Amino acid sequence: MRVIRVTIDLAVPDIEEAKAFYEGYLGLDAQDMGLNWVTRFVVPVSGEHIQLVSQDATASENAVLTVKVDDVDDAYALARERGYEIVHPLTTEPWGIRRFFVRAPDGTVLNIAQHVDP
């Protein structure tokens, strides 16, 4: 497993209200992901980004970080082998992501994901 990108997932109660602040005030570019519960905001000059999440559509708990990897199946097997708590099982989501949620030893929940064809 190789990590490709790490994204901060910031929990917010209202995506539209948050959008007014992050896009309207801070000037970040909003990238609509086609899902009403998550939006990515990108710094125009650097490409750095965060995701705002109201409530994950299929997981019982929101992740704090999304970690994109090159082989999510391998990452899942390794997490199970090491005895880490799986919070959300390995699932191929209809929006083109194969992912699972794992709890780090410090309690942080991470979304380990890989893009796939929907």
How high does pLDDT run on average in the chain? Answer: 92
CATH number, domain with residue 97: 3.10.180.10
Is the pLDDT reported for residue 38 higher than 90?
Answer: no
Residue 117 confidence (pLDDT) = 81
Looking at per-residue confidence, does 101 or 54 come out higher? 101
Residue 110 sits in which domain range? 3-115
Contact by Cβ (8 Å): 111, 75: no
Q: Alpha-carbon distance 13 to 81, whole Å?
A: 35
Residue 118 confidence (pLDDT) = 63
Q: Alpha-carbon distance 69 to 101, whole Å?
A: 13
pLDDT in tens, 92-117: 988 889 999 999 999 999 999 999 98
Structural domain count of the chain: 1
Mean per-residue pLDDT for 21-41? Answer: 89
Contact by Cβ (8 Å): 79, 102: yes
